[in-house]
Structure 1
Amino acid sequence: MTAARGVGGWLTGAAGGLLLAAALFCYGALSGFTRAGKACALAAGRSPSDPPDRVQQTLLPLSHVCRWPDGTHVDLVQPWLNPLLALCVAVAIGCTVRTALVIRAARTPSEEHA
């Protein structure tokens, strides 16, 4: 197996992990981006005319929490999104490291030729 052949699959895995992570991040970051008050009210089972008092957003972990004075709160970001985002990033990092190891092994002279 040539080094180029061995690297291709790992590079594809790294690129795929990064692309999926970027898509998931955009999906989560844009949760409730438009009409946040209405989306929050509907997610909390309230009337669309009952918007939250406060909306708090964070980028890491992705969160879009709406809070009402009576203590009710709802997060518009799906609960599965952050763990899946972390998994995609971990896969991309693992594939990148493996790519580097394959390239390094291909450049290192083997002991058979010494």
Structure 2
Amino acid sequence: MTGLLSYAVVEIATLALAAGSAIVGLFIAALALRGVLRDRSRKMLFLSAGMILLFGAAYVTALVGSALVRFHVISLLQQNYVLLAVRALQFTGLCSIAYSLVIGE
């Protein structure tokens, strides 16, 4: 019984941290978007797009994927598609941020 209880605590903590990461990521993305609207800079546009993809979209996608597996909507094998989507969002976000750092005004 103790092993099952500790597993449940770890699972709840994992989901809570994933949800918290998604919320903080969306907050950072909102701040970046606010910066774009204020400055109207091309560099800031790519930086904020990268942050939205990296911190917002990737975490939300991972959280939704975890919930879908947890509630048996998708199988563990199908979770690989969610993982692929998360990695693609992260890669695209990082590329956008890198591009924002090298382009000129």
TM-score (ref. length: structure 1): 0.44
- Greater strand fraction, Structure 1 or Structure 2: 1
- Greater helix fraction, Structure 1 or Structure 2: 2
Q: Which has the larger radius of gyration?
A: 1
